[in-house]
């Protein structure tokens, strides 16, 4: 079979490898779709720890081809989505129920072979069934959606509240939709590309803001802004210093800030602790997808969350190295690898 192997930092190669066989508790899955995530670019550039040589791809779905002898809930022919994050169940964090903070966390597509391949092997406990009728491309969105669900859960949005989302990539556009579902009546998306602002408004944002049109804090939280005094909840989904610094200033007094965007380790951002204290802001980090994958699969299977319009390109495995080695093209939201073709 073919697999895209990260052989060293900066060296991603598609080559013939041996088809894996499932262990007793594993599923052998023929990959239908595998999403390219910013993390894949960070892994390629050596900005995120990995264990080369390894097959990348942690946002994948496909059809079960074979199951191990102890597998009972799944059978060949079923379509599944894989939760890539495997926790150990033994460390202090797992024993506290904080499985996403597991001290021995292993991720499929980062630490062990992933979904940029014709086939992937995953433990049965990491799989969730998807309907046979679902568009094969849609299952690849379960993983990013599960991460967004965790952030939205942490925010605790109440019906009628207001939300600001900073960054209109796939994460921001999923959070916009989840915030509306959670009952937010005003959802403002801030992003630079006009095409993303219009898409966000079609997907449920009540308005959008162009950072180039003036100071974002004035445009949103100023006396004449869209949400004077700020929003109940602000989601940082861009992962850049500018938006992380803006986020607390966009929250109303007593409001909540959720950081979903990943900034490079060691980078610092200026914040004003007095403002956080005096206005009692809750500033929270949201990391991956603890126990949210099943709900993500339900939201996508039912069509409750729109993902089809987030697909910008479907590419072949052979075209992956070029796509990962370069920044996303203008206007692109999600690029999917379809190892078996469309």
Which residues bind to ligand NAP, rule: CB under 6 A?
37-39, 144, 147, 166-172, 190-193, 196, 211, 237-240, 242-243, 260-262, 286-288
Least distance (Å) from ligand NAP to the CB of residue 23?
28
Nearer to ligand NAP, 10 or 331 (CB): 331
3-state secondary structure of 135: coil
Nearer to ligand NAP, 144 or 339 (CB): 144
Least distance (Å) from ligand NAP to the CB of residue 315?
16
Least distance (Å) from ligand NAP to the CB of residue 192?
3
Question: What's the Cα-to-Cα distance from 83 to each of 143, 221, 273, rounded to whole Å?
Answer: 6, 37, 37
Q: Can you say whether residue 337 is alpha, beta or left, with left for phi > 0 and alpha for psi between -120 and 50 degrees?
A: beta
Nearer to ligand NAP, 2 or 41 (CB): 41
Question: What's the Cα-to-Cα distance from 46 to each of 4, 35, 263, 273, rounded to whole Å?
Answer: 16, 19, 14, 33
Least distance (Å) from ligand NAP to the CB of residue 147?
4
Rounded to whole angstroms, the Cα distance separating 262 from 268 reads 12
Rounded to whole angstroms, the Cα distance separating 97 from 88 reads 11
Nearer to ligand NAP, 181 or 262 (CB): 262
Q: Compute, in degrees rounded to 10, the torsion defined by CA atoms 79, 85, 89, 93.
A: -150
Nearer to ligand NAP, 254 or 308 (CB): 308
Rounded to whole angstroms, the Cα distance separating 284 from 141 reads 24
Nearer to ligand NAP, 172 or 339 (CB): 172
Least distance (Å) from ligand NAP to the CB of residue 17?
27
Least distance (Å) from ligand NAP to the CB of residue 331?
9
Rounded to whole angstroms, the Cα distance separating 235 from 248 reads 10
Least distance (Å) from ligand NAP to the CB of residue 222?
17
Measured in whole angstroms, how far is the alpha carbon of residue 224 from the centre of its chain? 34
- Cβ 7 vs Cβ 321: under 8 Å: no
Nearer to ligand NAP, 120 or 209 (CB): 209
Which residue number has the CB closest to ligand NAP?
Answer: 169
- Cβ 89 vs Cβ 98: under 8 Å: no
Nearer to ligand NAP, 91 or 284 (CB): 284
Where would I find the H helices in the chain?
38-45, 92-95, 142-155, 170-181, 194-203, 216-221, 241-250, 273-278, 293-301, 320-325
288 closest CA partner among 52, 45, 90, 83: 83
Query: Token digits for 303?
Result: 């069509």
Least distance (Å) from ligand NAP to the CB of residue 213?
12
Nearer to ligand NAP, 186 or 208 (CB): 208
Least distance (Å) from ligand NAP to the CB of residue 22?
27
Question: What residues have CB less than 8 Å from 256, skipping those under 6 apart?
Answer: 155, 156, 232, 233, 234, 281, 282, 283, 284
């Amino acid at each position: 079979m073919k697999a895209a192997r990260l052989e060293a930092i900066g060296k991603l190669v598609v080559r013939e490898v041996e088809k894996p066989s499932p262990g007793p508790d594993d599923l052998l899955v023929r990959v239908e779709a595998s999403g390219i995530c910013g993390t894949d670019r960070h892994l390629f550039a050596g900005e995120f720890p990995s264990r080369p040589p390894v097959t990348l791809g942690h946002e994948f779905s496909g059809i079960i081809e074979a199951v191990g002898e102890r597998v009972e809930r799944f059978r060949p022919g079923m379509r599944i989505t894989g939760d890539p994050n495997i926790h150990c169940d033994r460390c202090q964090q797992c024993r506290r129920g904080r499985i996403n903070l597991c001290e021995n966390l292993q991720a499929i597509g980062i630490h062990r072979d992933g979904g940029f391949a014709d086939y992937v092997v995953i433990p049965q406990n990491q799989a969730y069934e998807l309907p046979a009728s679902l568009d094969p491309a849609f299952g690849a969105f379960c993983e990013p959606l599960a991460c967004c669900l965790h952030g939205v859960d942490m925010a605790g949005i109440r019906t009628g509240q207001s939300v600001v989302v900073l960054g209109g990539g796939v994460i921001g556009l999923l959070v916009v939709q989840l915030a509306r579902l959670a009952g937010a009546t005003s959802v403002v998306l801030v992003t630079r590309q006009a095409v993303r602002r219009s898409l966000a408004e079609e997907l449920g944002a009540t308005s959008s803001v162009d950072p180039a049109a003036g100071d974002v804090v004035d445009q949103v939280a100023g006396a004449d802004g869209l949400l004077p005094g700020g929003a109940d909840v602000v989601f940082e989904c861009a992962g850049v210093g500018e938006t992380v610094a803006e986020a607390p200033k966009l929250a109303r007094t007593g409001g909540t800030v959720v950081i979903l965007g990943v900034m490079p380790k060691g980078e610092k951002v200026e914040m004003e602790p007095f403002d956080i204290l005096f206005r009692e802001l809750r500033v929270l980090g949201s990391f991956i997808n603890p126990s949210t994958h099943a709900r993500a699969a339900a939201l996508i299977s039912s069509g409750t969350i729109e993902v089809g319009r987030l697909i910008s390109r479907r590419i072949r495995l052979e075209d992956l190295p070029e796509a990962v080695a370069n920044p996303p093209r203008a206007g692109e939201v999600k690029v999917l690898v379809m190892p078996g073709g469309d």
